[in-house]
Structure 1
Amino acid sequence: MRHYKFCPTESLTARSINIARKDVLRRFYEHGLPYSRKLTAHKSCVNYLAFSRHDGRWLASAGDDFRVLLWDFSEVDVVRPAHAFAGPSGNVLALDFSATNQYLYSGGADNVILKYDVSTLRGVGSSSGDGRGSSSFIEQYGDHDDSIRALTCHPYEDEIFLSASEDGKLVLHDGRAGGRMSAAQGTLQHTAEFTGVQHHPVMEHVFATCDVHGQVCLRDTRMAFGPLSGRSNGGIVRVYNTKLSRKSASYLSNPESSSLTFDRDGSKLAVTFLHYYPTVYALSDPHPLAICTGRNAPDGTPISPSQRTYTNSCTMKSGAFGGPGMDEDDMYGAGSDDFRAYVWKIPPLLTLQGLRKEITPHEWYNHEWPDTVAFAEGKWENRYVPFEISTPLARLNGHKSIVNSVAIHPSLLHIVTSGVERQVMLHSPTLSSPAAQNLLPTPSTVRTLQPQDLAAQRTFLRALFGPHPTLHEEIEDDEGEDETISLFDHILREEGEADVFTVRRWGEDSGDSDDSDDEDETMIDVFDTSDSDSSL
């Protein structure tokens, strides 16, 4: 038998090209994303942003004006929405594109999910330059009894998606099922309000959930849905460690998990916590690897205590992984109460695992740990101190109020942000790109939150009790937006920068304990594809 010697030239060449590409992209981001443009068409707060999968042609935006807008990033210069979808009768809180981008799903405060056909727009450019030429939904789903907080589509099937609601229901929708699956078989009832759900991007049966009690779980559709006789433990295959421990507190804290997201290959999971920092987990590790803070400016300079930096205490926020033009997502972005969005570069998982500190209960209780906040599954369990990514890659300015949503384009060097204001901000590291020309420098400073004065009090009262224009009534000046900003300024003064150990107390001795956290979980290997049912 003749033996052939393996020649790695081709793989080495591809690897060299990939390294060179990453070096070029890193140089683009060395100075952050200093250029931007306001994308203006919405009439109220913009709650959620989502790029279409793979090519990122479409940016979907939606919020409190009961409309879903599509912005076409295949245009030479994105200025106006290319299309608008009508139909919501309440604030829109969640969006997601289906596996092939044929459909777009929306959900929100009207408890209804709407399905839109995007495929009919494939040959359409800016057919309705101001986004007013709109079409309606092709199907609606009324399975929930409260606001829909999150939607996530199956990675391969256009007709399958999951929805999570404040009614505690998690619903599996399968347009192919017909009468084969009843509403009961497609519903998982939880004891707490769901705040997020995310399908794994590769493993079709795996998804993650989070709720108002702070619990973050990895689940399997084959165990979570279907006949009751075939279900097991709510489909849970892993519970992530989300409780906080501080030496000065005799109890643990369980921050509410506001949202979660996977990176593109599903190896990382990031959770946005209320009153705490975005936290990064490895899929197969229940203990956190990193937290993302803003203690330093992007140049590494420490932020003084008198200056505002990353916080999340007042609104529902969603983060996003990204790695434009690269084969991995090594960036993560999230909005903040300090009127900015933050983008962090995430080190490799193996690096983070080596940097994480593990502390035994004996060490924890017999040594001083000043200013140390650790994660612990119980008072007498090991403490885990994740690595702190304290220097963001960039801080994105341009907003006048809280930033809630961040989306990173899958291939172009753009990040979009939105929140309390009516505008979507398009950020870029360069003056021009294939989709945006002649961008302007972003202001280097942000608006300062001023103490409440008489004028601010009057604006706040108008926002609460004054007359409000109808959704379709044009507002010629900024008065309506100023009132909204004033309202959230008031909320920030009352609730901003609250101590998570004060507002989210959890104790094993108290009634705040979630019984499900104390159960002995039988960990199931989610990579085991035996006995699978491809219909879910």
Structure 2
Amino acid sequence: MKEVRGCGMRSSVGFLSRRRLTGHPLLKEEFQRRRLAGCSSLYKKNLLGHFGCVNAIEFSNNGGEWLVSGGDDRRVLLWHMEKAIHARAKPVKLKGEHLSNIFCLAFDSTNKLVFSGGNDEQVILHDVERGETLNVFLHDDAVYGLSVSPVNDNVFASSSDDGRVLIWDTREPPHGEPFCLANYPSAFHSVMFNPAEPRLLATANSKEGVGLWDIRKPRSSLLRYGGSLSLQSAMSVRFNSTGTQLLALRRRLPPVLYELHSRLPSFQFDNQGYFNSCTMKSCCFAGDRDQYILSGSDDFNLYMWKIPKDPEAGGPGRVVNGAFMVLKGHRSIVNQVRFNPHTYMICSSGVEKVIKVWSPYQQPDSMGDLEGRVEDKSRSLYTHEEYISLVLNSGSGLSHDYVSQSIQEDPRMMAFFDSLVRREIEGWSSDSDSDLSEGAILQLHARGRRSTRTSREGADDPSAPASGNSTAGCEVFFFVGHQNKKNLNLTNVFIADDNDASFLNFSCPVLILILFFYLVFPCCRLCIHCLLGCGETTQMTLKKIILLIIINNCNFFGLHKSIISKFS
């Protein structure tokens, strides 16, 4: 028997680690549980196949033999995980392509069908075996979330930017009217059927937070989670495998865990460096007993926390400080994460073109170790000026052309999100110098996170004293590109907050004229600030925003204004 370093247990590496675990299910589960529990890090490997950001990933049911992925390149790719990892097999591209960014995916229970939804306001139903498109379900706005009923593969739910959660039956005519479960003024970013009680669904809304719904009682939620803090921007919600707990992600706040029938949180999970502000992300449970949770972060890392065994420990909303594991290796923001309970593999994706596979077992050509001693060399963040230079030198403005079918890293995309992270941090700092050191960025990240949470909680508490204006930040949704929404081919445009959107009431030529006076006559800047009603953060970024508008032939302005009107 060979000692497996970093795992705290002995294992026959050649017999168990390099083949499928067979035999008694309880022995397999116990082995894998102990293996993961003894690791400080995981082996990692990249899957290459997409030409842009990867916005959605899902494992197949009953073993996770397949992984489906989709993103900015509008393609749905199907990966056979064993062949992709061990034989470098390329993914299968399903024939049905979207007209814009893909945001969500789902398998049916038999793994014979794949549902995909996105920015082109439609859900496509794919046949896995033949790759053909079986049906298309039209929506009125972008589709952010999908969930298939656990008891009826003909029924699925979709959550949309138009503020509706719709229940569809694939046996009905595709142009028929679906059943409307919820209808809010603000966008629904996530929806999921309860795996044990299929009449219940959980949702995450951009303004109304996390809610529980009964399909028999539409238009009114059964429960609004969060207590006095229920009105929070929520972007993802997931049930555990037994349907007794919900995990949710909120903007600028730590992940939160709820018991199904309690509106008060059981636990919140935090760690120095973790932050969720610049992009839309998802979360998931992990472990054979859902004893862990996973979430990506703006600091390019993937975080895993262990759920305390006693839900009453520490009282409602207790903060679990300190992640069980921090997985390092991504080179930009991590948005999506999924766990396979059968193989203990984790897949994550985001701004990069890669899907990263994490495992407690060493795979062919995998990197890293189980102790976290081997780390990838970190890269330096691009500055705002470097990003603008990359845009100017690209010759294509803000749009991205995926015709070249390149799987290589895109510096312009990386720089765009680096710029968002810097802008968020500079909003917390009185120093607007964009050349902050990496150490200073992390310090400001933590400081800004604490101040943001304090002000947010104070705002939700009627008894809290009034505070000054909160710092305006940027919120990123899976958008960007041209005025025609169906031809968007870049991901995640930043959206000004309410306090910073007043300057968008001006026409584009007037903005260009204002920009001219702003740059040429410094003495006019104070008057311009007063005229536009801009906050401090907008003053720092106004000329950059308008410059990007000009670069993209003013088409970006029309889209930018429409997005702000929907999300602000």
Output the TM-score relative to the length of structure 1: 0.70
- For 2:195, the aligned partner's letter is P
Greater Cα shift, 390-399 or 163-172: 390-399
With over 3 angstroms needed to count, the CA separation of the structure-2 counterparts of 1:461 and 1:280, relative to structure 1, is farther
Q: Aligned match of 2:135 in 139, 144, 159?
A: 139
1:51-80 alpha-carbon deviations (Å, 9 max, x no partner): 011211111111100011111124371634
With over 3 angstroms needed to count, the CA separation of the structure-2 counterparts of 1:460 and 1:492, relative to structure 1, is farther
What percent identity do the matched residue pairs reach?
Answer: 27
With over 3 angstroms needed to count, the CA separation of the structure-2 counterparts of 1:29 and 1:80, relative to structure 1, is farther
| Counterpart for residue 147 of structure 2 | 152
With over 3 angstroms needed to count, the CA separation of the structure-2 counterparts of 1:236 and 1:468, relative to structure 1, is closer
Q: Distance in 1 between matches of 2:421 and 2:395?
A: 16
By how many angstroms is 1:183 displaced?
1.3
Q: Distance in 2 between matches of 1:399 and 1:418?
A: 8
**Structure 2 residue 417 is matched with structure 1 residue 440:** no
Contact 2:382 2:415 in 1 (8 A): no
- For 1:340, the aligned partner's letter is N
SS at match of 1:337: coil
Aligned pairs (5 A) from 1:113-132: 113-118=123-128, 120=129
| Counterpart for residue 8 of structure 1 | none
| Counterpart for residue 329 of structure 1 | 290
SS at match of 2:282: coil
Q: Distance in 2 between matches of 1:97 and 1:419?
A: 20
By how many angstroms is 1:274 displaced?
0.7
Contact 1:198 1:209 in 2 (8 A): yes
By how many angstroms is 1:279 displaced?
0.4
- For 2:280, the aligned partner's letter is M
| Counterpart for residue 39 of structure 1 | 47
| Counterpart for residue 69 of structure 1 | 77
Q: Aligned match of 1:102 in 105, 112, 123?
A: 112
By how many angstroms is 1:391 displaced?
2.3
- For 1:105, the aligned partner's letter is F
Aligned pairs (5 A) from 1:217-236: 217-224=211-218, 234-236=219-221
Contact 2:387 2:412 in 1 (8 A): no
By how many angstroms is 1:455 displaced?
3.7
Aligned pairs (5 A) from 1:367-516: 384=316, 386-432=317-363, 437-441=364-368, 444=375, 447=378, 450=381, 452=383, 454-459=385-390, 461-462=392-393, 466=397, 470-475=401-406, 478=409, 481-496=410-425, 497=445, 499-500=452-453, 505-506=459-460
Q: Distance in 2 between matches of 1:24 and 1:94?
A: 29
- For 2:97, the aligned partner's letter is G
**Structure 2 residue 167 is matched with structure 1 residue 172:** yes
| Counterpart for residue 244 of structure 2 | 267
**Structure 2 residue 311 is matched with structure 1 residue 352:** yes
Q: Aligned match of 1:276 in 210, 235, 253?
A: 253
Contact 1:275 1:500 in 2 (8 A): yes
Contact 2:336 2:348 in 1 (8 A): yes
Contact 1:60 1:69 in 2 (8 A): yes
By how many angstroms is 1:269 displaced?
0.3
By how many angstroms is 1:187 displaced?
5.5
Q: Aligned match of 2:196 in 194, 202, 206?
A: 202
Contact 1:397 1:446 in 2 (8 A): no
**Structure 2 residue 226 is matched with structure 1 residue 241:** yes
Aligned pairs (5 A) from 1:287-366: 287-295=264-272, 309-323=273-287, 326=288, 328-348=289-309, 351-356=310-315
Q: Distance in 2 between matches of 1:463 and 1:404?
A: 26
- For 2:53, the aligned partner's letter is C
1:69-114 alpha-carbon deviations (Å, 9 max, x no partner): 1111243716344311232111001111112222110111111100
Q: Distance in 2 between matches of 1:286 and 1:193?
A: 21
Contact 1:102 1:158 in 2 (8 A): no
| Counterpart for residue 533 of structure 2 | none
Q: Distance in 2 between matches of 1:218 and 1:446?
A: 43
By how many angstroms is 1:29 displaced?
3.9
SS at match of 2:217: helix
Q: Distance in 2 between matches of 1:54 and 1:268?
A: 21
Contact 1:463 1:487 in 2 (8 A): no
SS at match of 2:86: coil
By how many angstroms is 1:182 displaced?
5.9
SS at match of 2:313: helix
**Structure 2 residue 97 is matched with structure 1 residue 87:** yes
Count of aligned positions: 410
Q: Aligned match of 2:35 in 27, 31, 44?
A: 27
| Counterpart for residue 54 of structure 1 | 62
With over 3 angstroms needed to count, the CA separation of the structure-2 counterparts of 1:197 and 1:17, relative to structure 1, is closer
By how many angstroms is 1:235 displaced?
4.1
Question: Structure 2: which 5+ residue stretches go unaligned?
Answer: 1-23, 426-444, 467-568
Greater Cα shift, 458-467 or 394-403: 458-467
Q: Distance in 2 between matches of 1:78 and 1:392?
A: 33
Question: Structure 1: which 5+ residue stretches go unaligned?
Answer: 1-15, 122-134, 225-233, 245-252, 296-308, 357-383, 511-536
Contact 1:217 1:239 in 2 (8 A): yes
With over 3 angstroms needed to count, the CA separation of the structure-2 counterparts of 1:187 and 1:282, relative to structure 1, is closer
Contact 2:54 2:70 in 1 (8 A): yes
Q: Distance in 2 between matches of 1:431 and 1:289?
A: 35
Contact 1:87 1:137 in 2 (8 A): no
1:468-492 alpha-carbon deviations (Å, 9 max, x no partner): 55323233854xx110000001111
With over 3 angstroms needed to count, the CA separation of the structure-2 counterparts of 1:458 and 1:99, relative to structure 1, is same
Q: Distance in 2 between matches of 1:262 and 1:91?
A: 26
With over 3 angstroms needed to count, the CA separation of the structure-2 counterparts of 1:322 and 1:34, relative to structure 1, is closer
SS at match of 1:223: coil
Q: Which structure: greater helix fraction?
A: 2
Contact 2:353 2:407 in 1 (8 A): no
Greater Cα shift, 25-34 or 416-425: 25-34
| Counterpart for residue 286 of structure 1 | 263
Higher RCO, 1 vs 2 (CA within 8 Å, ≥6 residues apart): 1
Q: Distance in 1 between matches of 2:355 and 2:397?
A: 26
Output the TM-score relative to the length of structure 2: 0.67
With over 3 angstroms needed to count, the CA separation of the structure-2 counterparts of 1:83 and 1:347, relative to structure 1, is same
Q: Distance in 2 between matches of 1:56 and 1:17?
A: 16
With over 3 angstroms needed to count, the CA separation of the structure-2 counterparts of 1:508 and 1:167, relative to structure 1, is farther
By how many angstroms is 1:178 displaced?
5.8
With over 3 angstroms needed to count, the CA separation of the structure-2 counterparts of 1:446 and 1:333, relative to structure 1, is farther
SS at match of 2:338: strand
Contact 1:460 1:486 in 2 (8 A): no
